[in-house]
Chain A
Amino acid sequence: MRKTNNLILETAIKVLLFFIVLYSVYIFTAGHYYPGGGFIGGLMTAGAIVLLLITYDIKTVEELLPVNYRILTAIGLLFAIGTSAGSLLFNVPFLTHAFGDVHLPLLGELSLHTATLFDLGVYFVVVGVTMTIIQTIGEDE
């Protein structure tokens, strides 16, 4: 069901959406050393998509983002389990992570941590699960 009179929301969302998604990516990467991380980042991204759902309707958003959220959840889980299980190859206890400083052109000094990959998994799972729940509830109406 498409609401008729929400021009303000429809205009605002086009700008806001970018900010929300960008900020959620920022929060996600900030989780490296500061408060933040995959969970809250994922929740924020899901929030942005929900805002789209409120403004438009399920069909429009599905055309815009043709994502199967259940598969997204599974991909996220694979990321998380995969990085944790990587420790099996090195014969160190499960979930042990590795990190190190890397020098990259353009970006300069970077400290990379395998926990980020794990966190990326969490991010996908949170987006996937939240959106699955919201879509399921939404479809009932």
Chain B
Amino acid sequence: MTNLIILPILIPLFTGVILIFLNKRITGQRVVATISSISTMIAAGLIVQKVRTDGIQFLNMSSWDAPFGITLVSDMFSALLVLTTSLISFVCLIYSFKSIGEEREKYYYYAVFNFLLVGVNGAFTTGDIFNLFVFFEVMLMSSYVLLVLGGTKIQLRESIKYLLVNVISSALFVIAVAYLYSVVGTLNMAHISSRINEISVNGMPGILTVIAVLFLIVFGLKGAIFPLYFWMPGSYYAPPTPVLALFGALLTKVGVYSITRTYTLFFYHDIEAFGILSILAILSIVFGVIGAIAYWDIKNIIIYNIIIAVGVILYGVSVMNIASISGAVYYLIHDMIIKAALFLLIGIVIKITGTSNLRNMSGLITRYPGLGWTFFIASLALAGIPPLSGFVGKLLIVQGGFEGESFIGGFITLMSSLLVLFSVMKIFINGFWGKDRIYSGEEKAPVKQLLIAPVILVVISAFYGIGTESILPYITQAAHTLINPNLYIDAVLKE
């Protein structure tokens, strides 16, 4: 089927519209949203298989041939990310049923939820740099709504900050695209890459380094790398858990994806830009670790762990050899799954205890053993204890780092794992061990039903780690395309 790769964008879009009509019928909304989420997952799975057997897939929208029209391109990297996205959104959706509350459900929560997925899947799939901007906007507007929906004081305050930061970064995005267009005269990503290749025969022109850094700023703001993560701990602190899990697992990763895509496809000649990327990635790890250890608030600890993960992934990208890129792809998917799981788990903890301050909770494991052990496994996976899924990704990234003779970065990545383990174990030791306490309002928390969602994710993460042998071919295929931009260019332009 020609239109296969647009389905993960089209299904949520269509669903979002249908849900607007159903806004007062909560059961109807849930049913429609679940069906759509499952079918998106199936479509994404089919795309992964299709790319595996037939190579890179593309779709020239409205039948305008590349590079003149807008092209959607699905290589293994983007196909895997779309699959992971639909999986996480499905799980967050189930979790929302029991936790988001009727008020939000009646005010278009599920509709906006689906529009967010349109933006995320679109950003992963598009092969046109301006279209990437458009999908970023779709994603951001939905995220504004999700962030402000409910209208509590902290949400309103943080929404203003979040809006300001993103409006500015969107303006910078357009400026960066305009710069790029003035240099290469095209917007199709494959075409841009081949044009840059032509003009970089005698070394990369300086203007392209400027553009590379501009893109790093724009995507870095979304992806929360050092020093552009300043807005994130505040903004992500505000929304309810399922939204937080979606943001933490998906939105920052779209920034990371965009950096990876533009740097490996456009700026692979540019050693300076890669140098900057590498330094910023390492600094993100360092500052993320400091934040994760310093805080006694469980939300903040996990939020700072996002920054660490972003640093680790981008460090893998900046080394740019086959091992490190495979590691980055592997780790990116691992991190999306496990971060979503952790956010959902701490959401349950907060529901039970009514606080996110670690000092005000203890002994949860006595009465909630399922929650405790799931959290324990998720923390081990996050830190990268074999055979769980964090291990292989980090191993490959460190291996790539040492092969690329970037010893400091490799070493810091290794050390960061220990401190990440410490930061999540701190939650486990203080929150789950110790004396059992009675919390007011805990009877109301539907712990068993809520626990289903994170358990699904943790099980998947475990299989992702144990079944590495069968998953690695997909990862290597993704890394292979990223290392050889010509594969991407040939697939889109020469047919």
Contacts and interface: CB of A to CB of B under 8 A. Distances in A.
Interface of A: 70-71, 73-74, 77-78, 81, 85, 87-88, 91-97
Interface stretch (B14-22, B89-97, B274-282): B14-22
Nearest to A82: B14
9 contacts: A71-B21, A74-B20, A85-B14, A91-B1, A93-B60, A94-B6, A95-B61, A96-B62, A96-B63
B127 to A, nearest CB: 13
Contacts of A88: 3
B10 A77 contact: no
Contacts of A87: 3
Given A85-B10, A96-B62, A96-B63, A91 B2 contact: yes
Contacts of A92: 2, 63
Interface in B419-454: none
Contact residues of A: prevailing secondary structure? helix
B13 interface: yes
Which 10 residue pairs are nearest across A and B when measured between Cβ atoms?
A74-B20, A95-B62, A77-B17, A96-B63, A94-B6, A95-B61, A93-B63, A88-B3, A96-B62, A94-B3
B2 A93 contact: yes
B60 A74 contact: no
Nearest to B62: A95
A18 B14 CA distance: 35
A30 B13 CA distance: 29
Interface residues of B, number: 16
Given A87-B3, A93-B59, A95-B62, 14 more contacts: A71-B20, A71-B21, A74-B21, A81-B17, A85-B14, A88-B3, A91-B2, A91-B3, A93-B3, A93-B60, A94-B10, A95-B61, A96-B63, A97-B62
B443 to A, nearest CB: 38
Contacts of B62: 93-97
Contacts of A85: 10, 14
Given A70-B20, A97-B62, A81 B14 contact: yes
B20 A81 contact: no
Nearest to A79: B17
Given A81-B10, A81-B14, A85-B14, A93 B21 contact: no
Contacts of A95: 61-62
A97 B3 CA distance: 14
B38 to A, nearest CB: 19
A100 B456 CA distance: 52
B3 A78 contact: no
B394 to A, nearest CB: 39
A96 B62 CA distance: 4
A54 B1 CA distance: 52
Contacts of A77: 17, 20
Q: Which one of A70, A74, A94, A97 has the greatest number of beta carbons of chain B within 10 Å?
A: A94
Nearest to B9: A94
Contacts of B2: 91-93
A96 B70 CA distance: 12
A47 B31 CA distance: 38
A20 B13 CA distance: 33
A48 to B, nearest CB: 25
Contacts of B13: 81
B70 to A, nearest CB: 9
Contacts of A74: 17, 20-21
A93 B66 CA distance: 13
A97 to B, nearest CB: 7
A93 B17 contact: no
Contacts of A73: 20
Contacts of B59: 93-94
A73 B115 CA distance: 14
Nearest to B71: A93
A88 B17 CA distance: 18
A86 to B, nearest CB: 11
A33 B127 CA distance: 29
Interface string B10-51: 100110010011010000000000000000000000000000
Contacts of A81: 10, 13-14, 17
Nearest to A76: B17
